[in-house]
Amino acid sequence: MLEKLQAHFCESVIEGTRPLELLENLAKHYSPEEAEARLAIYQNNFYASLIEHLLETFPTVLKLLGDEFFRALSREYLKAHPPASPCIDQFGGSFANFIADFPPLADYPYIADIARLNYCQHIAWYAEEKPSLPPEDFTRFDIQSLGNASISLDASLHLIESPYAIYRIWEENENEQPGEVHAEHPEAVLIYRELPSYQIHTQLIEKGFYTFLHNLQDQHSLAQSLDAASEVDPHFNASSAIDSLIRSGLSTKIVTYKISPKEN
């Protein structure tokens, strides 16, 4: 009985409906006017708090759409995707996909990828903390062993590849007076959290370095990741990529594998 009433209450708050069974239960304690007023308070608080969370999580999308449109969009999103968890720190993970399928924004397809960028910036702050490998750890291996090893990357690291100029759009909207950006320009972006400052870094990276990191994330070996990067970018510099990986503090573990000799 309680579970059913709770379901009706959630339906009332999220969708604005008033299930008969819920009203009958409230009528035992409140007049119809008072019951409606109490439900309206819960409903308003629900939307106000979560819309505020989305405003803070997607600041670039907010600037691009304007406050009024963003709030209306957020309300539609909340109706379709209410929080599944009482902890809302990571709420909004499906917002970008919702924007991509939102008919009024069909002429602005880059906004969905801007939402992905903003969300990655947001959740990078909450990622699990693990100590970075000191540079000297890489010198403990010979070239072949290191090449065959997989390297675990920091949990805060996120990679986004887009057919649109999402980094330049984000960067311009960080300024007080953003300039005009040609959106039809592919870009790859690296996002990660620096410790102990908790600063979130957002960097424009080349296709080769994106492919290198993406393959490492997928647990491919260092050698395989370097080869994949070289295939997509003839100007990829392997030495520079390894140096950036070591100096950035983004690696957390080196996993080596013993290679068994082939049997005749």
Q: How far is Cα 6 from Cα 149, in angstroms, rounded to an integer? A: 52
pLDDT tens digits, one per residue of 203-245: 999 999 999 999 999 999 999 999 999 999 999 999 999 999 9
Dist CA 149 CA 92 (whole Å):
35
- Specify the DSSP class assigned to residue 249: T
Mention the CATH class of domain 129-264: alpha beta
Helix (H) or strand (E) holding 224: helix 222-232
Taken in order 89, 95, 96, 97, is the CA torsion positive or negative?
A: positive
Query: Could you report the per-residue pLDDT of 46-103, keeping only the tens digit for each?
Result: 778 899 999 999 999 999 999 999 999 999 999 899 888 878 888 999 999 999 999 9
**What's the pTM value of the predicted model, to 2 decimals?**
0.83
SS3 192: strand
Task: Give the residue range(s) of CATH 3.90.930 domains in the chain.
Answer: 129-264
